């Protein structure tokens, strides 16, 4: 049995230590907000936080999460009202929505460290999170909006 802390709750799963964290989250714990995209850590759809750092869960063995705090999109805000979630709606970011949870989780890691990023810092931090619908300009606006909201501006 592997013991995990996911979204503040202790979870036990009976899987091999090298099982990708993505599959533990989706298949064993039935939290399907984290998406499978490429399986190679290249697209960012599977992004979650481990101790506040954005990681690709498809390339992270579940054993690497033991004793650490894992946060998925479901745990970012219990009511789905994190400033980024609200900003993504306000800026009409989602089209197909497939990359959305990974984009939000990647951006949340940035805003946790820097709540006033420049456009260049956003582009650098978000590089590697792919959007098939090409809504990158809307994603950037949503991040800037959320940052302003978090600063109370």
83-151: CATH homologous superfamily?
A: [2Fe-2S]-binding domain (1.10.150.120)
Distance CA 32, CA 36 (A): 9
**2-75 and 83-151 share one CATH topology?**
no
Tell me the pLDDT tens digit for each residue of 103-147: 999 999 999 999 999 999 999 999 999 999 999 999 999 999 999
Query: Which pTM does this prediction carry?
Result: 0.96
pLDDT digits (tens, 9 = 90+) for 64-106: 999 999 999 999 998 999 999 999 999 999 899 899 999 999 9
**What are the domain boundaries of the chain?**
2-75, 83-151
Nearby residues of 32 by Cβ (< 8 Å), 6 or more positions away = 26
What is the phi-psi region of residue 152: left when phi exceeds 0, alpha when psi lies from -120 to 50, beta otherwise?
left
Q: Which fold has domain 2-75?
A: Ubiquitin-like (UB roll) (3.10.20)
How many helices (H) and strands (E) would you count in the chain?
A: 6, 5
């Amino acid at each position: 049995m592997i013991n995990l802390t996911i979204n503040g709750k202790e979870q036990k799963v009976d899987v091999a230590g090298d099982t990708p964290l993505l599959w533990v989250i989706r298949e064993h714990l039935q939290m399907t907000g984290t998406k499978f995209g490429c399986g190679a850590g290249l697209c960012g759809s599977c992004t979650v936080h481990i101790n506040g750092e954005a990681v690709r869960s498809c390339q992270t063995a579940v054993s690497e999460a033991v004793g650490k705090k894992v946060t998925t999109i479901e745990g970012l805000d219990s009511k789905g009202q994190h400033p980024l979630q609200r900003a993504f709606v306000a800026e009409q970011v989602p089209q197909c929505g497939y990359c959305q949870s990974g984009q939000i989780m990647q951006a949340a890691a940035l805003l946790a460290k820097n709540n006033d990023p420049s456009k260049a810092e956003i582009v650098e931090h978000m590089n590697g999170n792919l959007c098939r619908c090409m809504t990158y300009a809307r994603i950037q606006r949503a991040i800037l909006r959320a940052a302003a909201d978090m600063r109370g501006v």
